[in-house]
Amino acid sequence: MPTATSLRPLDWIQAGFRTLTTDGVDRVKVEPLAQSLGVSKGSFYWHFKDRNALLSDMLQHWHEAATELIITVVEQAEGSAQSRLRTLVQRVSDPAPAAYGGDGVEPAIRAWARHDARARDAVERVDTQRIDYVQSLFREVGFSKAVSRHHANTLYATLIGLDTLSGRTDINRVKSLSGVLEALLSH
């Protein structure tokens, strides 16, 4: 059985994301999370000052894992900007890990952001960073600043739309997003 010191902050963060995804942010509470992890509430306080600290750490972790890390992986890929755009599409089309709530996690974060200023600020920062990065790749391909921004917004809006439809089994995320990317690259 886990103990206060055997659990890492990441275990609590992942449990928080799983609950966020299935039940919403109002259900991300210390006692139910402790029960789901099979530990006492004291274990939570070993790692976090309070629930707000957990929620802040969840948002920071999401930014790092779902934006910073992906950009790093794409930048380490060899090849042209077109090749890196294709790598990006492949990477963001991968299913979200079940440890974080699966493919419903991003829509759940966006739902949280509709009612919480801290989450809204985090989503805006992430969206801006992601769109700016995609725009930089389109610029590197050779598109003008305006066209690159349009293409970045279009590709990103497609991703967000596909995330919203994450429960649909008849949608192939890679194929859909790749198709949009190829259409944008040809114009």
Looking at the domain assignment, is residue 90 inside a domain? yes
Looking at the domain assignment, is residue 2 inside a domain? no
Counting the structural domains of the chain, the total is 1
Residues 6+ apart with CB under 8 A from 105: 17, 20, 21, 62, 96
Looking at the domain assignment, is residue 1 inside a domain? no
Q: CATH number, domain at 88?
A: 1.10.357.10
For residue 47, what pLDDT is reported?
94
For residue 168, what pLDDT is reported?
66
Nearest to 33 by CA among 2, 61, 59: 2
Return the DSSP state at 16.
H
Q: Tens place of pLDDT for every residue, the chain, 187 residues?
A: 455 557 999 999 999 999 999 999 999 999 999 999 999 998 899 999 999 999 999 999 999 999 999 999 999 998 999 999 999 999 999 888 999 999 899 999 999 999 999 999 999 999 999 999 999 999 999 999 999 999 999 999 999 998 888 666 677 888 999 999 999 999 8
* Contact criterion met (CB below 8 Å) for 28 and 55: yes
Looking at the domain assignment, is residue 30 inside a domain? yes
Looking at the domain assignment, is residue 107 inside a domain? yes
For residue 5, what pLDDT is reported?
55
For residue 170, what pLDDT is reported?
74
* Contact criterion met (CB below 8 Å) for 135 and 148: yes
In terms of residues, how long is the chain?
187
Q: Which domain holds residue 46?
A: 9-185
Phi and psi torsions of 115, nearest 5°: -125, 5
Looking at the domain assignment, is residue 126 inside a domain? yes
Q: What's the longest Cα–Cα distance across the chain?
A: 57
For residue 185, what pLDDT is reported?
97
